[in-house]
Chain A
Amino acid sequence: DAGVIQSPRHEVTEMGQEVTLRCKPISGHNSLFWYRQTMMRGLELLIYFNNNVPIDDSGMPEDRFSAKMPNASFSTLKIQPSEPRDSAVYFCASRSTGDSSYEQYFGPGTRLTVT
């Protein structure tokens, strides 16, 4: 199994530009999570999906952030327009709701730098 795949691994962009982060969950997993990690705020849950449906987006910082999951094997997190304070590592994680261990499987992350 390839694990959770995220792209790109690194993204450097200028303030005001649109940024799109991509995630492919583990095949068969039906829940997908987007997290943001910074030194100041630690690891924060932004949004999660179950069976491709957004369940809780209360962690999305503001309207500049949006996430979609058009099918079971793909999700995007978009920031438009980006700001320097969005600089962070963004992780995608997935799990199967049939798994009683509650374990989440994390991707390698996308390091975003907004200048």
Chain B
Amino acid sequence: SQQGEEDPQALSIQEGENATMNCSYKTSINNLQWYRQNSGRGLVHLILIRSNEREKHSGRLRVTLDTSKKSSSLLITASRAADTASYFCATGAGNEKLTFGTGTRLTIIP
């Protein structure tokens, strides 16, 4: 079964607005990663946050992690048309395996 559940399943916003996606998971983790998937393509790694971190930034991306609530959020600021894609969280237990969530389909309206 899927470890992560993303919320919302789909999100449409105007270009320039901020987009927030949430991920919940069930078991203890070592790290949580976010990936992007453009239509018909493979997944691309965006950012990783470790279990002992609460917030991380990379460019227009901001990720938070609340291990007590077993949840994470991904914020994309000042969205662009090129950000249109599906976004997945993936949890790792410190070994090789990642368990992916169900994904959020983000559409940026020009």
A43 & B42 in contact (Cβ 8 Å cutoff) = no
B44 interfacial contact with A, CB 8 Å: yes
Most chain B C-beta atoms within 10 Å of own C-beta, residue among A4, A104, A105, A107: A104
Select from chain B the residue with minimum beta-carbon distance to A107: B42
A56 & B98 in contact (Cβ 8 Å cutoff) = no
Residues of A within 8 A of B42 (CB): 4, 91, 93, 106-109
Most chain A C-beta atoms within 10 Å of own C-beta, residue among B45, B96, B97: B96
Give bound CA distance, A55 to B33, whole Å.
22
A55 & B96 in contact (Cβ 8 Å cutoff) = yes
Q: Smallest Cβ distance from B71 to chain A, in angstroms?
A: 18
* Contact pattern, A 32-44, Cβ under 8 Å of B = 1, otherwise 0: 0101000000110
Give bound CA distance, A35 to B100, whole Å.
10
B97 & A102 in contact (Cβ 8 Å cutoff) = no
Residues of A42-65 whose CB lies within 8 A of B: 42-43, 45, 48, 50, 55-56
Select from chain B the residue with minimum beta-carbon distance to A31: B96
B48 & A103 in contact (Cβ 8 Å cutoff) = yes
Residues of B within 8 A of A31 (CB): 96
Contact of B48 (CB < 8 Å), options: A45, A93, A102, A108: A102
Residues of B65-110 whose CB lies within 8 A of A: 88, 92, 96-103
B41 interfacial contact with A, CB 8 Å: yes
Most chain A C-beta atoms within 10 Å of own C-beta, residue among B42, B45, B101: B42
Q: A102-B31, A103-B33, A103-B48 are in contact. Are A42 and B100 (CB under 8 A)?
A: yes
B interface, CB within 8 angstroms of A: 2, 31, 33, 40-45, 48, 88, 92, 96-103
A interface, CB within 8 angstroms of B: 4, 31, 33, 35, 42-43, 45, 48, 50, 55-56, 91, 93, 95, 97, 101-109
